[in-house]
Structure 1
């Protein structure tokens, strides 16, 4: 019965020696590295907790083209024409027509007469 334990001890020592010579990390080595990385991440987060929040607040949200057109139409309660909207936005005809069509379809604006639009 002593022979299997000696054989298993020799086998384990052989594997350890082989891992050491080939510079292959063991499970314990990887676990230690993970613990150290966790500690480093915690230290980084503790030293700069608000850096992510500051970056988000610095970048203003860009308005969509539809909301820009809707605001311009809303500034004229009696209604406004296509030329006025085009001059205020600087959008080309096709883009502006598509936006007006979509806003009319979802009932955000109404067509008062040909080329005159009013916010609902």
Structure 2
């Protein structure tokens, strides 16, 4: 049957065995609390914009770009884009060069 590329009974059983193993792994992973914990942590953390805004809002005298980067751990370009968006929305003001305060 190999010449006609028709699967044999052995081929079908082999595939069914692999499917059974995959289903068992999926069931084991889905029942774990680890997935639910990771999802809850992501929801609690909020978006990157929310994290940057909260950092700026909580500071009394405003935050510099370097402070924001140290607190959030984001790269330069991501922070620049977030600051631009927050300023455009009117949520933050530029107090000086590289110094941002909540509006």
The TM-score range, normalised by the shorter chain, is 0.5 to 0.7
Aligned to 1:89: 72
2:89 matched to 1:106?
Answer: yes
- Alpha-carbon displacement from aligned partner over 1:19-66 (angstroms, at most 9, x marks no partner): xxxxxxxxxxxxxxxxxxxxxxxxxxxxxxxxxxxxxx8642141000
Aligned to 1:28: none
CA distance in 2, matches of 1:68, 1:110: 17
TM-score for both structures, normalised by structure 2: 0.59
Correspondent of 2:59 among 60, 68, 76: 76
TM-score for both structures, normalised by structure 1: 0.51
- Alpha-carbon displacement from aligned partner over 1:51-97 (angstroms, at most 9, x marks no partner): xxxxxx86421410000000100111221100000000110000000
Structure 2 unaligned regions, length at least 5: 1-35
Aligned residues: 67
Aligned to 2:17: none
After the TM superposition, list the runs of 4 or more consecutive aligned residues in structure 1 that deviate by more than 4 angstroms.
Answer: none
Larger Rg: 1
Q: Alignment RMSD, CA only?
A: 2.1
Structure 1 unaligned regions, length at least 5: 1-56
